[in-house]
């Protein structure tokens, strides 16, 4: 009876059913009672069952899709994360991370500018080079080292990453979307770049507003505007006229350099 049920004919119910494994994963992780790797495996099993019994996906195809998803999760996504975390731990153990953290923090003692410099500018550069959550982890660690509370550091790093995540890990999301839809990555990059440019201008202002209030945000609006423009303009130009792979690396580096120069000069 369940196998003959097709929720695709009811869009709202179909959306709920499709979202169930994702919601289940997030709830398990948020609860803190289940280790992340077990939560991921349970969510994977839930996805498999939903695909087979709710959407009628052939069993052989579901098994192949599950295996392909596992392999895709480990390579290249897992491989990128492992290497980035290895590099991060190595710099921490050698003391280089503390030096870099101090140099970033010494640019300005203003907490608002430190947040903009590390969470938005440096986080954007790191998102383009690595992606998959590592920019948030590294940016939050740097901010906590400068005295930010863990909650504020994590929340602001996550918020800042929303403007850059579409082009993360050298365009990995776009490559995945291209493989799933058949659209050219360049065309997808153009469309995403035009939409993201709007949010890239808003997110830096909104992030500082959320951190310290509108009045405190408005006191430093020129610096926020410099960082936003120095990121948004390269993001738009590269995604529309060059390629979707180095957008965050170039735009993040440009924003970082522009904000440092602005604060210095």
**Euclidean distance between CA atoms 157 and 216, whole angstroms:** 19
Residue 2 — very low, low, confident or very high, per pLDDT cuts 50/70/90? Answer: very low
Is the pLDDT at 201 greater than 60, yes or no?
Answer: yes
When the pLDDT of each residue in the chain is averaged and rounded to a whole number, the result is: 87
Judged by average pLDDT, the poorest of 25-29, 99-103, 183-187 is 99-103
Residue 73, classed as helix, strand or coil, is helix
Extents of the domains making up the chain: 7-57, 77-264
SS (H, E, C) 83-106: HHHHHHHHHHHHCHHHHHHHHHHH
What pLDDT is attached to residue 3?
47
Q: Residue 1: is its pLDDT beyond 50?
A: no
Give residue 87's pLDDT. 75
pLDDT higher than 90, residue 108: no
Mean local confidence (pLDDT), 133-140: 83
pLDDT at 265 over 90: no
* 240 vs 129 pLDDT, higher one: 240
């Amino acid at each position: 009876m369940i196998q003959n049920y097709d929720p695709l004919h009811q869009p709202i119910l179909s959306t709920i059913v499709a979202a169930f494994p994702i919601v289940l994963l997030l709830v398990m992780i948020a609860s803190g009672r289940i280790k992340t790797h077990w939560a991921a495996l349970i969510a994977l099993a839930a996805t498999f069952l939903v695909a087979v019994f709710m959407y009628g996906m052939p069993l052989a195809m579901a098994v192949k899709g599950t295996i392909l998803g596992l392999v895709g999760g480990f390579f290249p996504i897992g491989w990128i994360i492992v290497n980035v975390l290895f590099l991060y731990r190595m710099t921490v153990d050698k003391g280089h991370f503390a030096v870099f953290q101090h140099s970033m923090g010494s640019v300005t003692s203003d907490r608002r500018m430190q947040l903009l410099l590390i969470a938005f500018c440096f986080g954007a550069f790191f998102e383009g080079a690595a992606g998959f959550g590592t920019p948030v982890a590294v940016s939050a660690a740097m901010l906590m080292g400068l005295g930010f509370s863990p909650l504020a550091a994590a929340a602001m790093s996550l918020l800042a990453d929303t403007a850059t995540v579409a082009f993360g890990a050298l365009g990995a999301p776009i490559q995945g979307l291209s493989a799933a839809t058949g659209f050219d990555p360049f065309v997808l990059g153009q469309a995403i770049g035009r939409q993201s440019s709007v949010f890239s201008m808003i997110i830096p202002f909104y992030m500082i507003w959320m951190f310290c209030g509108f009045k405190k945000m408005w006191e430093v609006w020129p610096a926020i505007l410099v960082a936003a423009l120095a990121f948004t303009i390269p993001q738009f130009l590269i995604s529309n006229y060059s390629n979707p792979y180095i957008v965050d690396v170039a735009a993040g580096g440009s924003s970082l350099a522009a904000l440092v120069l602005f604060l210095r000069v």
